[in-house]
Amino acid sequence: MIVAEPNRSATWQTNKIVLILMCFWSGTIAVGFAAIGAWPILPFAGLEMAALGAALYYVCWKLRYRHVITLTDSTVRIQKGHYFPKREWEISTDEAALSIIPEKHPWDGPAISLFSKGEEISLGEFLNRDDSLKLLDLLRGRVRIGNHSSRSHRPF
């Protein structure tokens, strides 16, 4: 089983602590200004913290996206989703082929796709170069390479 997920610098728990500290800091400043008569700052400080909380939640949600690739002797199962599989494919290893498109920039990783009966399933498009190459190494021994070129996406 291979689990591919994006790198993330902080968990949702860490982001909640950061949000609480920012709310405390912003609230302290807003109350200070309100005490000297600049009370209109209070709703803006609240809106600012609500926007920060929404942005932190959205980023954490996006970084929970993952691909779970389960390889057996006869099948390749791919599951994609955030907290649970939202899309799932199960393909016979005899019908599956990898398509590898080399990177366009030295920092990018190769684009990896799995083909079967005319269907293309991209794998690990959110991975950095090192992680893409690790995924490719793990898949190379188990799934045949159908295409390794920059000109075509089709393995046959």
Model confidence pLDDT, tens digit, residues 28-56? 999 999 999 999 999 999 999 999 999 99
Q: What is the 3-state secondary structure (H, E, C) of 113-126?
A: EEEECCEEEEECCC
Would residue 118 be called left, alpha or beta, if left means φ above 0 and alpha means ψ between -120 and 50 degrees? left
Residue 42, domain member (yes or no): yes
% of the chain exceeding 90 in pLDDT = 30
pTM value surpassing 0.85: no
Domain limit, last residue, from 62, 80, 104: 62
User: Could you tell me if 75 and 131 lie in one domain?
Assistant: yes
User: Could you tell me if 143 and 120 lie in one domain?
Assistant: yes
Residue 88, domain member (yes or no): yes
Residue 75, domain member (yes or no): yes
Domain limit, last residue, from 62, 80, 114: 62
Domain membership of residue 129 as a residue range:
67-148
Residue 39, domain member (yes or no): yes
Is residue 149 scored above 70 in pLDDT? no
User: Could you tell me if 73 and 133 lie in one domain?
Assistant: yes
Per-residue confidence (pLDDT) for residue 34, from 0 to 100: 93
Residue 15, domain member (yes or no): yes
Q: What is the arithmetic mean of pLDDT over 104-127?
A: 84
User: Could you tell me if 77 and 140 lie in one domain?
Assistant: yes
Is residue 146 scored above 80 in pLDDT? no
Q: Give the number of domains in the chain.
A: 2
Q: What is the DSSP string of 70-82?
A: EE-SSEEEEEEES
User: Could you tell me if 38 and 78 lie in one domain?
Assistant: no
Checking DSSP bridges between strand 97-101 and strand 145-148, what pairing results, if any?
parallel
Q: What is the arithmetic mean of pLDDT over 8-21?
A: 91
Domain limit, last residue, from 62, 83, 101: 62
User: Could you tell me if 114 and 81 lie in one domain?
Assistant: yes
Distances (CA, A) of 94 to 90, 97, 142: 12, 8, 11
Token representation of residue 115: 């083909």
Q: What is the arithmetic mean of pLDDT over 98-116?
A: 84
Model confidence pLDDT, tens digit, residues 62-104? 888 888 988 888 888 999 988 888 889 888 888 888 888 888 8
Please provide the average confidence, as pLDDT, over all residues in the chain. 85
